[in-house]
Structure 1
Amino acid sequence: MINKNNNPIAFLDSGVGGISVLNEAIKMLPEENYIYFGDSKNAPYGTRTTAEVRELTERNVEFLLNNGAKAVVIACNTATSAAAEYLRNKYKELPIIGVEPALKPAALDNEEKKILVMATPMTLAEKKFNTLMAGYEKYARIVPVPCGGLMEFVEAGILDGQELEEFLRKILAKDLCKDAEAVVLGCTHYPFIKETIIKV
């Protein structure tokens, strides 16, 4: 009989961003086996429709299940917003873990202050994020910052440099950043460019 405990935990993302989440999982659960699926062929997800992202995510989960995954981590804020609830209803016996912007700790640590939430346009438009934001607006002034086009820099391996800094300066205008006490990185790609974001 096959011991399913040895089966891998699957991580999926629209590209390389979910590796930032996988790295943390490996530190916490080093004895587990893992598989990673980055859907770079169909990236970016953040500028697609909810229906498109749900369809892509469902197809990717089916692929991972066919390859023996015992659990799936949707290591993408956009895919979590679009598909996690739907997939949990479809695969009731399968542990499906999603990610969401770290708004709770940012709001509770910066009460009555301004917080920027950098994420894809789709993540910010989805009900999941807006429900999350509504729950913490009483603590802090939350400002969503749509970052369409930013994850593509990470996918292309551009983690610093003038081109990226100029792009970020357009998104993070001085007026927007004035008096901001925290920035939430609401896409798993963004930790790879954290130092450049801090610099800008």
Structure 2
Amino acid sequence: MQEKYKPIGFMDSGVGGLSVMKEAIKALPQENLIHFGDSKNAPYGIKTDEEIKKLTFSAVEFLIKKQCKAIVIACNTATSVAINDLREIYKEVPIIGIEPAVKPAVELNEDGKIIVMATPVTLKKEKFNHLLEMYGSDREIIFLPCPELVELIERGVLEGEELDNYLLSKFKPYLNDKISAVVLGCTHYPFAKKAIKKIVGDAKIIDGSYGTVKQLKNILMRRDELNDSNSKGTIEIFNSLNSNDILELCNMLLSAEVE
């Protein structure tokens, strides 16, 4: 098989990477896409670096065996912990990571706090701190660790009282402040965007999916590996839980509107 017709792989600690794959479906409709979610071991954001690396390498190896021409680490936690080691080992395959969209939030140049929602691991890593040094030194940026939000999304809780109460408890200290933007620093979080929007009102809600897929497309263009087929690409979903419930949730999330 020619390289350009091989699939693109996406991995995540669970179902969150589907939010990135949805962006790829829009931008690269001819590409064949494979998503591997490790819901059996979710969330990654409360594990040790050693555990995260081991699980991430296992997921990437699964996608390598599927002959993926490029692999997207559609998980902020896995990117922050394992991306450099992955690129060192898999030198022949482009490995694209995702990071919290701090730069676009700062470039809005609007008054108010920037709140970065992410897992505890993402917020404490050197990669994230480097982002802050580059783009956020003169802005008030609030760290808001939300590990339980991953678990809610993994259970398919996208709306309702349980989700609303959790988010209110997190945002309560800032509800009387001016908030310019909320950065979704975990790929699960876009599936809760409607609920977040109800709380933060006019604040912009930003995630890293668009930038990640743009980078993926540019890399494939440079390598002359964009799929030039006239037909729509295929989509395959795999999950470490391998249950009907999780696969139904994946299909539901793929079809759900993410505003």
**Structure 2 length-normalised TM:** 0.74
Bigger CA drift: 180-189 or 110-119? 110-119
Identity of aligned residues (%): 54
| Shift in Å, 1:62 | 0.9
User: Aligned-pair distance for 1:112?
Assistant: 5.8
Q: Establish whether residue 129 from structure 1 lines up as the match of residue 136 from structure 2.
A: no
Task: Tell me: higher relative CO, structure 1 or 2? Use CA pairs within 8 A at least 6 residues apart.
Answer: 2
Quote the Cα distance in structure 2 between the aligned partners of 1:32 and 1:159.
28
The answer as to 2:15 corresponding to 1:7 is no
**1:147-169: CA deviations, max 9, x gaps?**
12111111101011111111111
4+ residue segments displaced more than 4 Å:
none
- Identify if the C-alpha distance between structure 1 residues 87 and 157 changes in structure 2 by more than 3 Å, giving closer, same or farther: same
Q: Could you say which residue in structure 2 is the equivalent of 1:75?
A: 74
Question: CA 1:177–1:45 in 2, change beyond 3 Å: closer, same or farther?
Answer: farther
Specify whether residues 170 and 186 from structure 1 end up closer, same or farther in structure 2 by C-alpha distance, changes over 3 A only. Answer: same
Secondary structure at the counterpart of residue 122 of structure 1 = helix
| Native 8 Å contact 2:20 2:74 kept in 1 | yes
Q: Tell me the equivalent position of 2:86.
A: 87
Structure 1 residues 132-171: aligned runs within 5 Å = 132-171=131-170
**In the comparison of the two structures, how many residue pairs are matched?**
199
* Alpha-carbon distance in structure 2 between the residues aligned to 1:36 and 1:16: 9
Query: CA offsets, 1:126-162, max 9 Å, x none?
Result: 1111111111223421111111211111110101111
Distance 2:156 2:141 in 1: 30
SS at match of 2:44: coil
The answer (yes or no) to whether the contact 2:112–2:177 under 8 Å persists in 1 is: no
1:13 and 1:75 in contact (8 A); partners too: yes
Q: TM-score, with normalisation over the residues of structure 1?
A: 0.95
- Does residue 1:41 correspond to 2:40, yes or no? yes
The root-mean-square deviation of aligned C-alpha atoms, in Å, is 1.4
* 1:114 and 2:113 matched: yes
SS at match of 1:173: helix
Which segments of 5 or more consecutive residues in structure 1 lack a partner in the other structure? none
2:50 matches 1:51: yes
What are structure 2's unaligned runs of at least 5 residues?
A: 200-259
CA distance in 1, matches of 2:79, 2:170: 24
